């Protein structure tokens, strides 16, 4: 690694093509991933990992050399794609394309004979040829078969990558273009595939995934596989500084709208809102729900929740100036919720950030709990 913290891949490394990546930013984001998304050795929510592993197990049972060569292969493949739960997961992993999924199901029902399809899948999964060639050959053959169907189509790379990634989760990666492009741009994974073929594109992004997998291991995550890497890359919180500035402007506008609403309207909006996620922006910026801040300050009626005194001045809109304080700081895992927020005068706000005395903290928790109980029929959304 050079002094700027950027790592360049050595020439000759398979599939990587000499790309570069911002290693400092990658390590920082993995640490955030560990802090906010990982529980012990369960790398992300257990249910999410479980369905991916279960689907992978189904694929591995169907796509073995013996089962592919068996007379029941086509029936097994149809059954998998017709199963409602598996179908939903396949659509999800294919980038949400129901059309792509349906066209492949049409192919299984109306298309090739057993021997032809068995040969295509055997060559894709078990041939010793280079991965890019296997993918390109499979895509060309399936696209030719699609031409014989009533509704023409082509098979997409992310569906082909499912067959590889779900059959061999420790070796291959499920490709999903939107998430790949977002994360690759954020980590400055440079260059582009050497040609426009599906196989070259897969190799390019697979090299990116392998570098993340290697760095996750270096960062102290054990037993990392590509299902873990997929969850890391498929996150929705990769944001560039330019996007951040735009979102700050939107936040300020939303805050102004929230402050004009009544207490009842704010309560209703908060009930319907979802928790606002953490955004990764070469560091951490914790987005707030403007309705919560507006409701806390409006309910305080110009009186500081800590010292009990009136706000020291009014803002330009002529309203008492109080600041919304998160009792357990967001950076420490606190929630952006009524039970974790208090309305403070500037002096008390500074005091909490500098001293954060336990008696003061407990007083604010009591005030926040009472406010939540009074304003909301449903209590205890989150534990602070």
Both tokens of 258, joined, read 């929230």
Q: How many CA atoms lie within 13 A of 311 on its CB side?
A: 17
161 versus 14: the higher-pLDDT residue is: 161
How far apart are the C-alpha atoms of 305 and 318, rounded to whole Å?
Answer: 20
For 18-60, give the DSSP string. T-EEEHHHHHHHHHHHHHHH-BTTB-S-HHHHHHHHHHHHHHH
Nearest CA-CA partner of 93 in 20, 10, 22, 180 = 180
Burial class, 332, CB count within 10 angstroms (exposed 0-12 / middle 13-18 / buried 19+): exposed
By three-state DSSP, how is residue 85 classified? helix
124 versus 46: the higher-pLDDT residue is: 124
* Bridge partners, residue 279, by sequence: 285
Residue 178 has pLDDT above 70, yes or no: yes
How far apart are the C-alpha atoms of 195 and 281, rounded to whole Å?
Answer: 31
**Residues present in the chain in total:** 384
| Model pLDDT for residues 187-198, shown as the tens digit of each residue | 888 777 767 789
User: What percentage of the chain has pLDDT greater than the value 70?
Assistant: 80
Nearest CA-CA partner of 183 in 42, 25, 3 = 25
How far apart are the C-alpha atoms of 233 and 176, rounded to whole Å?
Answer: 9
Given pLDDT bands bounded at 50, 70 and 90, which one contains residue 363? very high
Beta pairing, strands 323-326 & 341-344: antiparallel
Residue 148 confidence (pLDDT)? 82
Question: pTM, whole model, 2 decimals?
Answer: 0.59
Both tokens of 323, joined, read 């600041």
Mean pLDDT value across the chain? 79
| Model pLDDT for residues 105-152, shown as the tens digit of each residue | 888 888 778 888 899 999 999 999 999 999 999 999 999 988 888 777
Given pLDDT bands bounded at 50, 70 and 90, which one contains residue 297? very high
By three-state DSSP, how is residue 275 classified? coil
Given pLDDT bands bounded at 50, 70 and 90, which one contains residue 247? low
Nearest CA-CA partner of 227 in 32, 33, 56, 34 = 56
| Model pLDDT for residues 188-227, shown as the tens digit of each residue | 887 777 677 899 889 888 889 988 988 888 887 777 788 7
Q: Which range is least confidently modeled, 4-13, 132-141, 180-189, 233-242?
A: 4-13
């Amino acid at each position: 690694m050079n002094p700027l913290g950027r790592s360049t891949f050595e020439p000759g490394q398979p599939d990587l093509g000499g790309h570069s990546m911002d290693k400092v930013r990658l390590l920082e984001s993995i640490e955030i991933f560990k802090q906010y998304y990982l529980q012990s050795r369960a790398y992300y929510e257990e249910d999410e990992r479980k369905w991916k592993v279960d689907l992978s197990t189904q694929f591995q049972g169907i796509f073995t050399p013996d089962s592919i060569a068996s007379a029941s292969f086509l029936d097994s493949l149809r059954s998998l794609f017709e199963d409602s739960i598996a179908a939903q997961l396949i659509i999800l992993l294919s980038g949400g394309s129901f059309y792509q999924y349906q066209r492949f199901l049409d192919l299984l029902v109306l298309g090739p004979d057993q021997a032809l399809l068995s040969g295509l899948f055997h060559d894709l999964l078990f041939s010793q040829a280079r991965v890019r060639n296997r993918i390109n050959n499979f895509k060309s053959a399936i696209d030719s078969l699609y031409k014989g169907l009533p509704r023409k189509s082509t098979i997409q790379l992310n569906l082909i990558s499912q067959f590889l990634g779900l059959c061999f989760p420790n070796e291959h990666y499920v490709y999903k273009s939107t998430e790949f492009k977002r994360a690759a741009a954020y980590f400055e994974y440079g260059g582009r595939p050497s040609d426009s073929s599906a196989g070259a594109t897969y190799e390019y992004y697979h090299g990116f995934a392998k570098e993340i997998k290697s760095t996750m291991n270096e960062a102290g995550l054990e037993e990392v596989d590509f299902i873990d890497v997929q969850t890391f890359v498929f996150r929705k919180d990769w944001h560039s500084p330019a996007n951040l500035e735009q979102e700050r402007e939107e936040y300020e506008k939303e805050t102004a709208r929230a402050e004009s609403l009544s207490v009842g309207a704010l309560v209703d909006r908060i009930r319907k809102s979802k928790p606002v996620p953490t955004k990764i922006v070469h560091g951490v910026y914790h987005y707030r729900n403007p309705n919560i801040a507006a409701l806390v300050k409006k309910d305080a009626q110009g009186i500081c929740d800590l010292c009990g005194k009136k706000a020291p001045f009014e803002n330009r809109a002529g309203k008492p100036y109080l600041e919304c304080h998160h009792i357990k700081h967001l950076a420490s895992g606190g929630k952006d919720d009524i039970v974790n927020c208090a309305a403070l005068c500037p002096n008390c706000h500074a005091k909490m950030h500098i001293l954060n005395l336990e008696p003061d903290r407990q007083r604010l928790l009591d005030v926040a709990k009472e406010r939540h109980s009074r304003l909301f029929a449903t209590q205890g959304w989150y534990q602070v």
